């Protein structure tokens, strides 16, 4: 391309004069000018810029999202003279912006624009470019903006009840772009959902805006929790749900949270049984929570007092000295042998009833009860039925399943219910009533365990206004009280509708009889 003779610009021009000059230049180069008096001038092709150089410093210091002092570059032609009317482009990394991404050089050959920094703290850069000449690079050191919120740098992981979280949450102070702001802060952790409390060191101060909660623990019922972190005048942040698991296995009885008559839970395995560790998994606590809540709703807020430790169901562990096969060989007396061995081991105390999840078999029943112990035979295979293996409810918010219904049924037996002298007592199935939708039914028809069970049809045998004085009732039991804490961990996610649950319920052997129980052992040991 040949040289273009550009008239020397005058020092002072009005905007109109500039537009006219630009149009004239464009006409010189491309023979047309579309910019009219009503619109902006069309930016012409760049005259022969030979070099670009910065005017002033090429470094800036500023706050993310703010505009830094104007960027200026000078364009010169092949003679080294200031080159006006040359188009200069500005580009930037990050999310930075230019007020004018394109500028035209003035009479001094200078083009300028304002640079608004992007959101990322650290070094940002911008370039001024024209054609193929080396560009001018500006850099800015962007610092974080004012603190507005807390952020979770490290999500916590769950733990056993009362123990430090297995992954300590790390919380920091952030600006509106999410940059960490190194300011002094005091952050407090609290529970955002579910029962229980945070324990350990729940308030942490940091001079640098980053707080590590390395001595934080949770106490309360087993289940999922959300932890929220708060600091004055900053938006709080909540963790993802963490699972609060049962305490580690304990062969000794832990301290009781509450005094008085109560129900103690054991996970029991035969000497050669597969130890699934159900006492250290949420499984049993979830299943217990389901029937505990169901019972509380049926009894107007009353329920059975459970043995808890640190707010969580305290599940003990016991291994029988007998093999599974030898226990099965006892026929109707599996429960009796479990109770005998637990008593011999010194586990049975006065003013306690016991709920045993026995991970062994029975050829006679899926469970049994005495006046002291209620036991579920999780691997039972009675004739004509199969006890549902591994089907304890997997959420504290679930509906009543087979095992929940059956365990509650047998726990109620430990209260001496149904009395052999109640009006509808079934002689053929001792200590039961004859209605298949009754919690305490056993008989020739299928039992109907589940949420729709009735506690004493007609209210005249063991619960209700028609019960004859002198008969044992659930409400009169020393193990039942009002105002007890529930194990249900609260609805982190609302339970599915009953309809959605029905498919699972169909998987429960509703047609199964709850077989007759072995005879009560003679007396409390």
Q: Which residues contact 201 (CB under 8 A, 6 or more apart)?
A: 213, 214, 215, 216
Strand 210-212 and strand 216-219: the pairing is unpaired
Phi, psi (rounded to 5 degrees) for 125? -135, 155
**Burial category of 217 from C-beta neighbours within 10 Å (exposed 0-12, middle 13-18, buried 19 and up):** buried
Contact mark string toward Zn ion, 488..517, x via CB under 5 A: -----------------------------x
Name which of 245 and 517 has its Cβ closer to Zn ion.
517
> Rounded to an integer, what distance in angstroms lies between the CA atom of residue 224 and that of residue 194?
7
Using CB under 5 A, count the residues that bind Zn ion.
1
Strand partners, 188: 203, 230
- Find the residue with minimal CB distance to Zn ion: 517
Contact mark string toward Zn ion, 288..317, x via CB under 5 A: ------------------------------
User: Residue 188: in which H helix or E strand, if any?
Assistant: strand 185-191
> Rounded to an integer, what distance in angstroms lies between the CA atom of residue 101 and that of residue 103?
7
Name which of 160 and 517 has its Cβ closer to Zn ion.
517
User: CA separation (Å) from 180 to 96, 122, 142, 155?
Assistant: 19, 11, 12, 16
Name which of 425 and 517 has its Cβ closer to Zn ion.
517
Name which of 187 and 514 has its Cβ closer to Zn ion.
514
CB of 442 to Zn ion, least distance (A): 5
CB of 480 to Zn ion, least distance (A): 18
CB of 278 to Zn ion, least distance (A): 23
Name residue, tokens 């040289």. 3
CB of 486 to Zn ion, least distance (A): 25
Name which of 202 and 477 has its Cβ closer to Zn ion.
477
Name residue, tokens 């090429």. 58
Return the residues of window 198-257 that contact Zn ion according to CB under 5 A.
none
The helix/strand/coil state of 132 is: coil
CB of 294 to Zn ion, least distance (A): 17
Dihedral over alpha carbons 437, 438, 439, 440 (to 10 degrees): -130
Chain center to CA of 10: 70
> How large is the angle between the packed helices 283-298 and 402-413, nearest 10 degrees?
70
Chain center to CA of 494: 13
Return the residues of window 345-374 that contact Zn ion according to CB under 5 A.
none
CB of 385 to Zn ion, least distance (A): 15
Q: In what order do the strands lie in the sheet with 159-160?
A: 159-160, 242-245, 223-225
CB of 224 to Zn ion, least distance (A): 33
CB of 393 to Zn ion, least distance (A): 20
Name which of 225 and 517 has its Cβ closer to Zn ion.
517
CB of 405 to Zn ion, least distance (A): 11
| Of the candidates 366, 312, 321, 369, the residue with the CA atom closest to the CA atom of residue 342 | 321
Name which of 174 and 517 has its Cβ closer to Zn ion.
517
Name which of 60 and 517 has its Cβ closer to Zn ion.
517
Name which of 224 and 456 has its Cβ closer to Zn ion.
456
Residues interacting with Zn ion, by CB under 5 A? Answer: 517
């Amino acid at each position: 391309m040949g040289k273009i003779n550009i008239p020397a610009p005058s020092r002072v021009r009005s905007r109109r004069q500039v537009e006219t000059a630009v149009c004239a230049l464009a006409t010189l180069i491309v023979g047309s000018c579309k910019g009219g008096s009503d619109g902006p001038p069309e930016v012409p092709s760049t005259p022969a810029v030979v070099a670009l150089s910065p005017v002033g410093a090429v470094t800036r210091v500023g706050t993310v999202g703010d505009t830094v002092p104007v960027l200026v570059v000078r364009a010169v032609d092949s003679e080294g003279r200031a080159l006006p009317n040359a188009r200069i482009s500005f580009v930037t990394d990050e999310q930075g912006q230019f007020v004018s991404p394109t500028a035209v050089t003035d009479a001094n050959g200078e083009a300028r624009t304002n640079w608004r920094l992007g959101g990322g703290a650290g070094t940002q850069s911008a370039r001024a470019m024209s054609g193929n000449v080396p560009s001018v690079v500006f850099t800015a050191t962007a610092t974080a903006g004012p603190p507005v919120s807390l952020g979770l740098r490290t999500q916590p992981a769950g733990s056993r009840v009362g123990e430090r979280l297995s992954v300590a949450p790390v919380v920091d102070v952030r600006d509106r772009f999410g940059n960490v702001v190194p300011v002094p802060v005091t952050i407090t952790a609290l529970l955002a959902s579910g029962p229980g409390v945070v324990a350990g060191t729940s308030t942490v101060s940091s001079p640098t805006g980053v707080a590590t909660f390395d001595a934080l623990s949770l106490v309360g019922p087993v289940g999922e929790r959300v932890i929220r972190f708060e600091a004055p005048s900053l938006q709080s942040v909540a963790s993802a749900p963490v699972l609060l698991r049962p305490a580690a296995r304990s062969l000794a009885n832990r301290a009781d949270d509450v005094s008085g008559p109560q129900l103690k839970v054991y996970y029991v395995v035969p000497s050669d049984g597969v130890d699934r560790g159900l006492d250290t998994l949420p499984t049993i606590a979830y299943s217990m929570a389901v029937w505990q809540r169901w019972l509380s709703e049926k009894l107007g807020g009353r329920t059975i007092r459970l043995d808890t430790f640190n707010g969580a169901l305290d599940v003990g562990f016991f291994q029988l000295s007998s093999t599974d096969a030898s226990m099965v060989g006892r026929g109707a007396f599996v429960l009796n042998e479990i109770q005998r061995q637990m008593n011999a081991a010194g586990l049975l105390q006065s003013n306690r009833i016991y709920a045993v999840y026995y991970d062994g078999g029975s050829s006679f029943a899926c469970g049994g009860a005495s006046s002291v112990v209620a036991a579920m035979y999780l691997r039972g295979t009675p004739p004509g039925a199969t006890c549902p293996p591994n089907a304890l409810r997997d959420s504290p918010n679930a509906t009543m399943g087979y095992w929940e219904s059956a365990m509650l049924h047998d726990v109620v037996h430990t209260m001496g219910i149904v009395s052999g002298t109640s009006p509808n007592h079934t002689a053929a199935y001792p200590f039961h009533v004859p209605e298949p939708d009754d919690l305490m039914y056993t008989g020739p028809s299928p039992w109907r365990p589940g949420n729709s069970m009735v506690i004493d049809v007609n209210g005249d045998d063991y619960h209700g206004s028609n019960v004859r004085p002198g008969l044992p009732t659930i409400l009169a039991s020393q193990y039942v009280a009002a105002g007890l804490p529930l194990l249900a961990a609260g609805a982190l996610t609302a339970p599915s509708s009953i309809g959605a649950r029905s498919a699972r319920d169909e998987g429960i052997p509703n047609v199964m009889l709850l077989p007759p129980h072995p005879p009560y052992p003679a007396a409390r040991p």
